Amino acid sequence: MIPTRFTETSVGDMFVVRNAGNLIPHSQHFVDEMTSCEPAGLELSCIINDIKHVIVCGHSDCKAMNLLYKLKSEEESSLEQRRISPLKSWLCTHGKSSLNKFLEVKENLEKPILFSAETPQRKFVAYIDPENKFCIEDKLSQVNTLQQLQNIASYGMLKKRLERHDLHIHALWFDIYTGDIYYFSRRAKRFLIIDESSYEIILAEVRRYYS
């Protein structure tokens, strides 16, 4: 899945950071000079290059999310397992907040999930897959995609721009089997498929709140 392909952009139009699980580690994980490429990428794109829109993109049948769901098992997420599996260690450290949030509502997905947005005071709710089209791991993938917006906003270097509405954070979700792209609409409180019937509604929301 190449982002420039399904967004119909050219090389150089977007600054792309990719990793297992489309995770943005929360800023609480870094002290002193400890960091990783994801926050460094945020600084390079949003501070140095003045990019105004950050888009987190998840997708269906994500192998990292499939594994994250299995990590609800204490045996699978044990210290021994994390020591022999870099992927399990990565997901346990940076994906557990998504998993825990999902497990809280797993038995009642009609219930809305609350997320923080650009600031702790700005929040939004999300209804995950209300038509029940996707498997349980894909539902987790959508929750995880939204959780990363909250993680992005945790970085102090972005605080002023987010408060001034000079920097905007969005979520896309891609169905790799149908080719459908979904945009998370805070107005609709759900992921909306981008097609002929919805694009004007989505575009109006983006122009009103994120331009």
Contact 57, 152 (CB under 8 A): no
CATH of the domain at 82: 3.40.1050.10
Instruction: Give the H/E segment covering residue 56.
Output: strand 53-59
pLDDT digits (tens, 9 = 90+) for 32-55: 667 789 999 999 999 999 999 999
Contact 152, 168 (CB under 8 A): no
Predicted local confidence at residue 1, as pLDDT: 61
94 has binding-site annotation: no
By residue range, what is the domain housing residue 153?
Answer: 15-22+41-209
Instruction: Pick the closest to residue 52 from 150, 154, 147, 165 (CA basis).
Output: 165
> Do the domain assignments include residue 7?
no
User: Residue 57 and residue 9: Cα distance in Å, rounded?
Assistant: 15
Query: Taking the CA of residue 4 as centre, how many other CA atoms within 13 Å lie in the half-sphere pointing to its CB?
Result: 9
> Do the domain assignments include residue 32?
no
Domain tally, the chain = 1
pLDDT digits (tens, 9 = 90+) for 49-94: 999 999 999 999 999 999 999 999 999 999 999 999 999 999 999 9
62 has binding-site annotation: yes
